[in-house]
Amino acid sequence: MIVSRRWLEALLGRTLDARATAEQLTMHVAAVDAVLPLHQDLGDIVIARVLEVKRHPNADRLTLCLVDAGGAGGTGGPVEVVCGAPNVQAGKLYPYAPVGAVLPGGVKLERKTIRGVESNGMLCSAKELGLGQDHAGILELDTAAAPGTRFVDAVPVADHQIVIDVPASRPDLLCHKGVARELAAVLGGVVKLPEIPIGPSDRRTVGPTHRPTVRQPDRSVVDGVEVRLEDPEGCPRYMAAVIRGVRVGESPPWLAGRLSAVGQRPINNIVDATNYVLFELNQPLHAFDLAKLRGPAVVIRRARPQEKIVTLDGVERTLTPDMTAICDAARPTIVAGVMGSAESEVTPATTDLVLECAYFQPTRIRRTRRALELSSESSYRFERGIDLLGMPDALRRAIELIGAVAGGELRAPPLDLWPQPVQEKTIFLRPERVSQLLGVPTERAELERLLTSVGFFVAPKDGRLAVQVPGWRPDVLREVDLIEEVARLKGYDAFPDELGPYRIGTVPDAPVEQAKARVRQQLVRAGFYEARTIPLGPPDGPDAVAIRNPMSAEEAHLRRRLIPGLVRRVEHNWANRRRDIRLFEVGTVFRTTPQAPEEWDAVAGVLTGARRPPHWSEGAKVPDMDIWDLKHHFELAVNVAAPGCVLQPATGGAGGWVAVQPGGEVVGEARALEADAPVWAAPLFGFEVRLLVTVPEPARYRPLPTQPPVERDVALLLPAGVNAAAVSAVLARTAGPLLARLDVFDEYRGAGVPAGHRSVAWHCTFRDPSRTLREREVDELLARALQALEDELGVRRREG
């Protein structure tokens, strides 16, 4: 919502500082998005009187004017200015730009010689000053200001637009009166509608505007026009006035100026008058040409199926019975609350008007606007709910305004069709509840003062306050809404913010968040950075979940796995010439199932490049990570993300490992990855494991060993197809609990090892916690284990 500072000033009867006003509104009412100065770029323009007009010696269409600019222009006395405008007259006042003045748009005026005569500055048209489209002549001024006065000081064009972010709950702020009311509450003062200026060229006074309107339930006749309200659900209240004998024309400058200041293009005096009331009082009005109504009648009814109307924007629209239409005896003339037809529009030929002032049901308007994809200043306001009780005042204001700017006669008092009249609602406010919620005691007198300041009517009743809610506040429905009014009018900043004591909550920490935190800690410790990828993409499997309303075909599915997204991130880093990359992600993955789609949390990591940072003392290149680094990180990740799972070599020949739950279910995998890699990139590996939410047991202390260990190194020959894990398993099983620890420390292929075999060396640590082991005992254990290896796996000890 754009409000004009000057317009607010007119309502408040005082001057305002635009920035300070914006601050007050932000802190007490609604956020101000911007304060935009209007016509502040006319500071160099001054008022000048043309003293004498002569023919230009060398040009027929130009004149040579002697101009009194009050000393502006350099010489101190009158200056000579060449002028091309046909309307220049001696004795009149015009805006004058002296040499050196900067015009709107930033052009600096130079001294120029025009057809052999030097011109000291320029007399300006409205267009040159950015004040309108008129470029036919220079702008004649009707002002008492002396020559030399700054134009912006003499002519009320300098203004500020204050752009307010009005929340949906506050339709009352969609007009100047509503904003002024809030400012009056904050700054003090009262809001009074400014008098409508009656210019010298005006017009007959309008008829009985002071007479009360004629209240009828749903049908009546006003000045020969039959009005029927057949859709009271869509239109609870409909007022209409007939004004005859108007003269449609341009609006007076003050009216056009008001609308321009809020970004509206002036159209003609009738439309401008209705728009003025809309922006002043938040009452959308519609004036339409009586001569074009068949019947003549005004019927408010649901539209018929397939009924057509060509709206003001020239588009043919098809209506449905869900929409309310204002019709004549034959067809719709207005899509109620949204837009009128081109046909019934007010034109320069219009003399007799029907002026509509209605309340349309907000949800009906919202649906109509959506269905037709057509919105307007009116629909915007009806959707949010206008002041049902303020309609008579708004209509009266509009009739007065039309009378002042377009003449015309009101022969009959306006009609007011209101089948089910309602009154202001009353809400009870308990002062002690205000204190309970806001935390500071608030005097009853202060409550009354604050609420009254924005239009509530307050009366004490049984220890409570009976608060009558004005019609323009549809958002105030219950006691707490009044408490908010109290809080914001006092100012949120007026409340202390010292931390007090509090009780700890009953809600336990979420195990899943704790599990994620443990995983993050583990992976960060291992040198991984946390990546964030977008869970949307092309389908990455047959059971990918499709999105109903995708942004694009490439983002039409939810991910099934995390790794593909991470691989894209690695490629992004490769593109930036990064070779050493470790990324992980903890995120949600999705699958369709025959029932509903499922989602769960997963952990994935990708790694490529050097195993560790280089050290200056080594010189040689640090080795790149290989499949065993992958296994290492996978083990660490599984231990924390899916405790209790064991790693097994993946079947299928591609290498890698899977993580298997005790029940046999595979919940994770790790393997070498394909990617769009530059030639200098190291191999890329990745793992992904489902996050199993467990509550880890606290670690249990085991007594530290007091007995010395017995250690043995054994080198074994493993035939192809036998892996070290299988060997370790047999060793551990057959040696029993005295084998306290088992580590692979070497692998060798080559001379001395039979073809198709490899040599793998284990370091075995034996220990009995209660006694000292004898050497012979250990040798026997080891011999038994080696025998089992030979029997089960064909693995022998390497000789020599």
Partner 1 sequence: MQIRTLERYPPPIRVVIPGQVYRRDPFDASHSPVFEQIEGLAVDAGITFIDFKATLATFARKFFSADTRVRFRPSFFPFTEPSAEMDAQCQICKGAGCPTCKQTGWMEILGSGMVHPAVLENCGVDSEQYTGFAWGMGPERIAMTRHGIPDIRLLFESDVRFLEQFAAGGGEGGAAR
Structure tokens at 630: 């992958």
Name the token pair of 529.
């950075």
Q: How far is the CB of 102 from partner 1 (least distance, A)?
A: 23
Nearer CB in complex with partner 1: 343/475: 475
Burial code (b: 16+ CB inside 10 Å, e: under 16) for 536-557 equals: bbeebeeebbeeeeeeeeeebb
Smallest gap from residue 388 Cβ to partner 1 (A): 21
Q: Which two tokens stand for residue 101?
A: 């003045």
Q: Choose between 581 and 658: whose C-beta lies nearer to partner 1.
A: 581
Residues 6+ apart with CB under 8 A from 288: 333, 334, 340, 344, 345, 346, 353, 354, 356
169 vs 728, beta carbon nearer partner 1: 169
The distance of closest approach from Cβ of residue 530 to partner 1 in the complex, given in angstroms and rounded to an integer, is 7
What CA–CA distance (Å, rounded) separates 324 from 310? 15
Question: How far is 300 from 323, CA to CA, in rounded Å?
Answer: 11
Nearer to partner 1, 223 or 580 (CB): 580
Q: Which is nearer to partner 1, 503 or 702 (CB)?
A: 503
Of 136 and 547, which CB lies nearer to partner 1 in the complex structure? 547
CA distance 262 to 560: 52
**Are residues 205 and 405 in contact, defined by beta-carbon separation less than 8 angstroms?**
no
On whether the CB atoms of residues 16 and 183 are closer than 8 A, the answer is yes
How many Å is the maximal CA-CA distance in the chain?
133
Contact present, 303 and 368 (Cβ < 8 Å): no
Distance CA 392, CA 416 (A): 8
Instruction: Tell me the closest approach of the beta carbon of residue 610 to partner 1, in angstroms.
Output: 4
Closest separation between CB of residue 192 and partner 1, Å? 26
User: Going by DSSP bridges, is the β-strand pair 225-229/297-302 parallel, antiparallel, or unpaired?
Assistant: parallel
Least separation, in Å, of the C-beta of 589 and partner 1? 12
CB of 463 to partner 1, least distance (A): 16
In sequence order, the β-bridge partners of residue 376 are: none
CB of 500 to partner 1, least distance (A): 6
Using CB atoms within 10 Å of the CB of residue 289, give its burial: 0 to 12 exposed, 13 to 18 middle, 19+ buried: buried
**Residue 163 structure tokens:** 């752009």
Residue closer to partner 1 (CB basis): 502 or 616: 502
Report the C-alpha gap between 552 and 168 in whole angstroms.
30
Report the nearest approach of partner 1 to the CB of residue 474 (Å): 13
For 88, other C-beta atoms within 10 Å of its C-beta total: 19
Q: Which is nearer to partner 1, 536 or 714 (CB)?
A: 536
Strand, coil or helix: 485: helix
Closest to partner 1 by CB, 270 or 589: 589
* The two structure tokens encoding residue 168: 């949906």
Q: Please report how close the Cβ of residue 489 comes to partner 1 at its closest, in angstroms.
A: 9
User: Least Å distance between CB 68 and partner 1?
Assistant: 41
Helix (H) or strand (E) holding 797: strand 796-797
CA distance 467 to 459: 6
* DSSP structure string for 494-552: GS-------PPPSPPPPHHHHHHHHHHHHHHHTTPEEP---SEES--STTPPBPSS-SS
Complex with partner 1: residue 27 or 627, whichever CB lies closer: 27
**Site of tokens 């693995």:** 795
Q: Cβ closer to partner 1: 367 or 611?
A: 611
- In angstroms, the CA 11 to CA 634 distance is 72
| Backbone dihedral angles phi then psi of residue 417, each to the nearest 5 degrees | -95, 115
Of the pair 26, 592, the CB lying nearest partner 1 is at 26
Nearest distance, CB of residue 427 and partner 1, angstroms: 13
- Residue 252 beta carbon to partner 1: minimum distance, rounded to whole angstroms: 37
Between 496 and 664, CB nearer to partner 1 = 496
Tell which residue, 470, 297, 336, 333, has the closest CA to residue 393.
Answer: 470
